[in-house]
Structure 1
């Protein structure tokens, strides 16, 4: 089987490296020099450059070459460029190939999840062949060979199981889940919550504070997920609480890093300028808030993150505002 991956960022490159362990794998890199370095030096000079890549991994800057010659297509580009890249590749994508999104975000304006964007751009593609790969997956740890697990969510269980076997390695365990909606909502929301967790840490608050924040963040994920059709059990799994914990506690997380800098008093523009990668939560917070408003779901943590990001609110005041909210049942809005 040939796996095609669109996007040679840190996670796209990592997934391509995983796939290359058991499959012929093609990786699309936007820049020709990056593709050449991967093919000749077997390293991505722009991302995770400290890790060698499989010699069997073939990179190309021709998106049609990659999209048109695969039996499974993986898309790992930022949410703000997802539609544009897919539209360019659309004419080359074979009919009925499984398409998996790695992107954890909400499209600005349309409020579509990435699988909805795929269905919108490729209206004739089988709906049960469109899904996601999502979980607590920090690229550097996986490239270092540390044990990790993820979820492949596809409505077609037999297809999910077929793709599952293509990514299983001795250090990377893959589970299946039919709940694409829940996995995507969890992935988009956890980036927002990781910014909040980073702020709490940057402000100097301790483990009690962060544990409370992450637990209440999970409640917000569940509320929104149920409202838009997700299975509540998904949020107790790898794509839910697993991804939330990893992202909210790790300095490797881009969104946590943004939040930590904000908590320390740095300007958002300065934090972003120091990073070589996209922090999805910075853009997708607006989409998550709009989606929550549309679904009439309370997401107070996300609201405060939005105030800090877009209105210049003081991080400490925003975090403390959460403590002054009206008393509620722990299961408010859920059960």
Structure 2
């Protein structure tokens, strides 16, 4: 039986730990706060993130050494911008042959590195040991056992398949892929486009507008992905358009909900309240994605507009006018 350590007890970390345990994988969760670890261990619940979900029996601890002991799969389920600092504290505790599986979706601010690159740089692990998981995986729906699929990407096919078998259940269907770059670019950029869709929704715009944003957002994602070495076909799959559609259209998406609050006239502070203070990856990722695109000479007007609304004081109405007033061209 495979053994997994899930480092991070937020909504998605908790939901994925539930998937692993129900797939028959021996699972231990690490939580930063002792009270969360205690609730997971004694109540089989996470009252802070998934209060209505009963969790299967699994280990829980505030001590990363306990969680990591003997782990075959180390699941990194912390926010993208805090991954480096957390991993630096954990790296000497990680078993030498363990697969490191990233659930984080973002581009690191400053370095412009993808999460797998951050993991390699901090841990010293070979790229073949590093996998990423991405897809239309809204945590509350997964935790409720609703059918969904995902992609496990890793250069080492055997490791990808090992992770695949460790998290396959009757409701959660994982596919394997070798395009780590494509899966990570899709996962980071979709949060930014979801902010745009949320803003449009908050302004009262309809389905034509949302469909336009999703479609043109996908075009931006593909352009950037190809520029940094991704396979274009990846973006037609679960880690591309699948993840994009779910994040852009669901009220369960924190990025969309945050954008909706902004579009309805709220401030950054009130928009954060709409997501109950949880991390909204796209708010920081729009800056790093825009910088990565500029470094590769890739045009991303939607990403730029989201950055201007979130960080430069531009109103949502001004952003729409700017986008609609761009030079006409061939699709």
**Which deviates more, 317-326 or 206-215?**
317-326
Render the CA deviation track for 1:2-39: whole Å, top value 9, x for unaligned.
11111000000000010011111010000111101111
For 1:117, the equivalent position in structure 2 comes to 118
| Structure 2 residue matching 1:49: 3-state secondary structure | coil
For 1:315, the equivalent position in structure 2 comes to 316
Render the CA deviation track for 1:235-275: whole Å, top value 9, x for unaligned.
00000000000000011000001110010000011221442
Deviation at 1:143, TM superposition (A): 1.1
The correspondence for 1:53, drawn from 37, 46, 55, is 55
Matched, 1:219 2:219: yes
| Structure 2 residue matching 1:99: 3-state secondary structure | strand
Partners in 1 of 2:248 and 2:47 — Cα distance? 27
Matched, 1:41 2:43: yes
For 1:278, the equivalent position in structure 2 comes to 279
Partners in 2 of 1:211 and 1:81 — Cα distance? 33
Partners in 1 of 2:320 and 2:228 — Cα distance? 27
Partners in 2 of 1:161 and 1:42 — Cα distance? 29
For 1:11, the equivalent position in structure 2 comes to 12
- Runs of 4+ residues deviating >2 angstroms: none
User: How do 1:253-332 and structure 2 match up within 5 A?
Assistant: 253-274=253-274, 275-330=276-331
| Structure 1 residue matching 2:259: 3-state secondary structure | helix
User: How do 1:220-259 and structure 2 match up within 5 A?
Assistant: 220-259=220-259
Partners in 2 of 1:319 and 1:5 — Cα distance? 41
Deviation at 1:320, TM superposition (A): 2.5
**8 Å contact from structure 1 (residues 51, 144) kept in 2:** yes
Deviation at 1:67, TM superposition (A): 2.3
Render the CA deviation track for 1:124-169: whole Å, top value 9, x for unaligned.
x221110201100001111111100000000011221121111111
**8 Å contact from structure 1 (residues 96, 126) kept in 2:** no
Partners in 1 of 2:290 and 2:237 — Cα distance? 23
Partners in 2 of 1:147 and 1:215 — Cα distance? 25
User: How do 1:121-200 and structure 2 match up within 5 A?
Assistant: 121-123=122-124, 125-200=125-200
**8 Å contact from structure 2 (residues 185, 225) kept in 1:** yes
Deviation at 1:314, TM superposition (A): 0.6
Partners in 2 of 1:52 and 1:319 — Cα distance? 43
Render the CA deviation track for 1:21-73: whole Å, top value 9, x for unaligned.
11110100001111011111100111011101102x11110012212331101
Partners in 1 of 2:268 and 2:252 — Cα distance? 18
Deviation at 1:323, TM superposition (A): 1.2
Q: TM-score if structure 1 supplies the norm length?
A: 0.96
Partners in 1 of 2:81 and 2:209 — Cα distance? 32
What are the ranges of 5 or more consecutive residues in structure 2 without an aligned counterpart? none
**8 Å contact from structure 1 (residues 189, 288) kept in 2:** yes
Partners in 1 of 2:302 and 2:30 — Cα distance? 37
Deviation at 1:303, TM superposition (A): 0.4
Partners in 2 of 1:325 and 1:189 — Cα distance? 21
Render the CA deviation track for 1:214-244: whole Å, top value 9, x for unaligned.
0000000000000000000000000000000
**8 Å contact from structure 1 (residues 107, 287) kept in 2:** yes
**8 Å contact from structure 1 (residues 28, 61) kept in 2:** yes
**8 Å contact from structure 1 (residues 192, 284) kept in 2:** yes
